[in-house]
Amino acid sequence: MIKESLVYVMATKHEQILEYIKNLDIGYKISVRQIAKNLQVSEGTAYRAIKDAEIQGYVSTIERVGTIRIEKKDKENIKKLTYAEVVNIVDGQVLGGREGLYKMLNRFVIGAMKLEAMKRYVDAGDLLIVGNRETVHEYALKEGAAVLITGGFDTSSEAKRLADELRIPVISTSYDTFTVAAMINRAIYDQVIKKEIVHVSDILIPTEVTSYLYRHDSIKRWYEMNRETSHSRFPVVGKDMKVLGIVAPKDVMGSDESQPIEKVMTENPMVVSPSSSVAQAAHIMIWEGIECLPVVDAKSRLLGIITRRDVLKAMQNVSTPAAGRRDD
């Protein structure tokens, strides 16, 4: 008699973190350290998964606010922005209603008219772009619309209270109304035609949560880091953080562990910039036969690294043309 067997496929740590993030409440604030602690993974693994979730549209990172869980965009609402994205686009400051940043706006309305006339146009879920008009700010919030204040102005304490109570954002930006409208329109346009382009900056693991060696570190230090991280290739930098080389197992094998790492490193390694496309990075990795690439700024200073695993995952998440593809 043939017995039917069950095969259990264990999810990778990366997949477990992604699933954990997807199950978080919309609007929940996420941190690398918290994810690493809760799921007992390294901060590098947590960071990589959070960046992956951002590429997939499950989270959004806002300067001075942090990373929050947002509603995932589907094909029907790709042209819509979350208030969190608006903050990033206009380099804004959140004055109130921070807990509503994850929500998507229906449309934006420019408040260049008198309040009575404006009442016909402002609806719940809108973003009202207006200047220093506190009465209008409060009216819009009561109608369920978020407020984007141009010219760098503040708003009233009452508007901030309403924003927090209703969980509807009030944002301030130093740009003028015309510029803000143009920036938002451009962002929507870019989402539609450039959604599939993923850059190295989208997937790099920054120096804060990755490992690297200084030129005067001993080869023994390579072995220590190999045991600590399970990684085998590390960038080598000088005191100014400029990338000088890279060290792999073949470089250290049979060498005296007391020697400085610069004696065995491969000098002038292949590097990429944050603005390079992931496709370009993949091409370099394939043709050069390398597993990871240092990411550097214009002065060759180390910003982080990307690995083949990061690149493959990013390419996997980029949707292919509709022909021959099913979404069921």
Question: What is the rounded average pLDDT for all residues in the chain?
Answer: 83
316 pLDDT band (50/70/90 cuts)?
low
What DSSP string runs through 270-307?
Answer: --B-TTSBHHHHHHHHHHHT-SEEEEE-TT-BEEEEEE
**Domain 200-317: CATH architecture, name and number where available:** Roll (3.10)
- For residue 87, give the nearest of 97, 77, 76 by alpha carbon: 97
CATH of domain 13-69: 1.10.10.10
**Domain 75-194: CATH architecture, name and number where available:** 3-Layer(aba) Sandwich (3.40)
* pLDDT tens figures, 169-222: 999 999 988 788 878 877 776 665 444 567 888 888 888 888 899 999 999 999
Q: In this structure, are residues 225 and 211 in contact, taking their beta carbons and an 8 Å threshold?
A: yes
Q: What is the pLDDT of residue 196?
A: 53
Angle, vertex CA 237, rays to CA 233 and CA 242, nearest 5: 125
Q: In this structure, are residues 32 and 68 in contact, taking their beta carbons and an 8 Å threshold?
A: no
Q: Where are the domains of the chain?
A: 13-69, 75-194, 200-317
- For residue 86, give the nearest of 13, 235, 14, 188 by alpha carbon: 188
Which residues, other chains included, contact 30 with Cβ-Cβ below 8 Å and sequence gap of 6+?
21, 24, 50, 59, 66, 67, 68, 69
The verdict on pTM exceeding 0.85 is no
- For residue 149, give the nearest of 135, 170, 167 by alpha carbon: 170
From residue 1, alpha-carbon distances to 4, 5 in Å are 10, 12
* pLDDT tens figures, 117-176: 788 888 899 999 999 999 999 999 999 999 999 999 999 999 999 999 999 999 999 998
